[in-house]
Amino acid sequence: MIPTRALVLLILIAVPTLIFLAAGSYAIWADGSLGWVWWLITGCGLAALGVARVWRPATAAGRTEHHLNAGSHWTPRDQQAGQVVRDYQLRVDAFTAEQLTDPHFYVGQVQSLALDVTRVYHPEARDPMANLTVPEVLAAVRLAVDDMERWMLESVPGSRMLTIRHWRMLRSAPTWMERLSETAWGASMLLNPLNVVRYLASKWSWDSVSVQVQSEILGVVYLQFMRQVGMYLIEMNSGRLRGGADAYRATFHGRSNDKAGAELAPPITLTLVGQAGAGKSSLINLLTGTAQPEQDVLPQTEEVVRYRWTAGEPPCSLTLLDTPGYGEEGASKAQQRQISQALKESDATLLVMDGHSPAREADRKLLEEIQTYFQTRPRLRPPPVIGVLTHIDLLSPTLEWSPPYDWRTLASPKAKSIHDAVDFAAGLFGNALVRVVPVCSDNRPGRAWGISEELLPAIVGVLDDARAAALLRGFETQLDRDRWQVLVRQLKQGGQALLQSLMEKRLAPRRGNTDVP
């Protein structure tokens, strides 16, 4: 949208000019109303100057509605590229009107931005853009152009009448407005020399205000243009456009009526990992209300089992994967294979840890393996990991157990022990955990605590991130699964077109030599 400030100033500038042109300068002079018209023009000019000084223009950093925001499905590498785009947007205040109305300037900006964004994805490549496919580039161009067209039609007043000639006129708008104004003032001063005072007041106000309005309008167009181009450069380099613009929109924007988006977003999978004895099974019992597994989850595993669970408001269907518990020294090779297979299907993870045990090395190694897995697969979004501290009833003083506990305010010795355990785990694992929550998963009456108070809100809080991870994983799987089918279809269509062309060439000479009786 055009900034409200620019619209107000534009109206203050345009009103007296339109009145003057509509009424006609001669008619006004002949009627004896020239004086109040000049006062109207001068008054609007002074009002515009006052508004411009009190209502300061927003800088590029302040025009947040036009900033590039991270997509919900973006990976950490995409977010890094997004910062590159935002840096380009912040440069708008340094550009002149001549640059912002020159098509060649925008072409140069796009080329420079495309190279810088691509380098984020291929930092060591000599030619980082060489591996992009032609369909990806075409899809990025199409999506950016479509979005800019929609923005111009919906958000820019009078855009349906805006021509290239009008756009070029914005470059010199303050200049021709100044010339028009001086011509009118020159004529008025011949009729009344006292108008020189009004002329000086008008010139003092109009010049600076018209330049500010010009800069704001052109700046908004540049910001929006770089936002759309930058977003689709990121989608292009991420590989999400290799299936074409239609497949991308159907999945991430819901602009298609087909069922691709629904099919690519399977129910959220929540994986529980942790050491043996950490309390995963009892935790699942409390979450699901039953310990009966639905079925073996994966053919490659023997101990990973699946549970169905519904959480959140509105209700969201989740699949819980209970993985085999590993020892303090870490998981065995068989357990590693099973846990790794489960994590490949995971959209969010619960790292279950015994709250009164200091043994965390095996958990730290597991988190490193998860991070390494997704670092080597940057097209996937890492699932959020919640740390769950169990057995907090065994923290000192062990005989004190009278939940609920306000452990954030250290209201009692037990609350302080819970706070210290949570703080230690959060500091040990850092950003690898989005949150650490304390629970007691003892099934005995009066012992369970923290499930509805701490764990459920934490799980609901990461559902959006988990959905994004599931959507992106499903989309990548779909593209990889369909690539051979697409290739076969392309070869079939290409072969049919070639055969038809050959047949037409062979039949053409015969048709040309046919004698008509």
**DSSP-H helix ranges across 322-462:** 333-344, 361-375, 413-429, 456-461
Predicted confidence at residue 143, as pLDDT, reads 94
- The mean of the pLDDT values for the chain is 78
Q: Look up residue 440 and give its DSSP letter.
A: B
Q: Is 28 a residue whose pLDDT tops 50?
A: yes
pLDDT bracket for residue 415 (50, 70, 90): very high
Predicted confidence at residue 263, as pLDDT, reads 45
Q: Which single residue is written with the structure tokens 């223009």?
A: 57
Q: What angle do CA 174, 178, 184 make, to 5 degrees?
A: 150
- Cα separation, 350 vs 107, in Å, equals 48
Q: What angle do CA 321, 324, 326 make, to 5 degrees?
A: 135
- Cα separation, 5 vs 42, in Å, equals 20
pLDDT bracket for residue 318 (50, 70, 90): confident
- Cα separation, 517 vs 509, in Å, equals 18
Q: Which single residue is written with the structure tokens 């111009």?
A: 152
Is residue 400 a contact partner of residue 412, using CB atoms and an 8 Å limit?
A: yes
Is residue 174 a contact partner of residue 217, using CB atoms and an 8 Å limit?
A: no
What pTM value is reported for the model? Answer: 0.71
pLDDT bracket for residue 251 (50, 70, 90): confident
First CA to last CA distance, the chain: 71
Condensed to tens digits (0 to 9), the pLDDT of residues 131-158 reads: 898 999 999 999 999 998 898 888 777 7
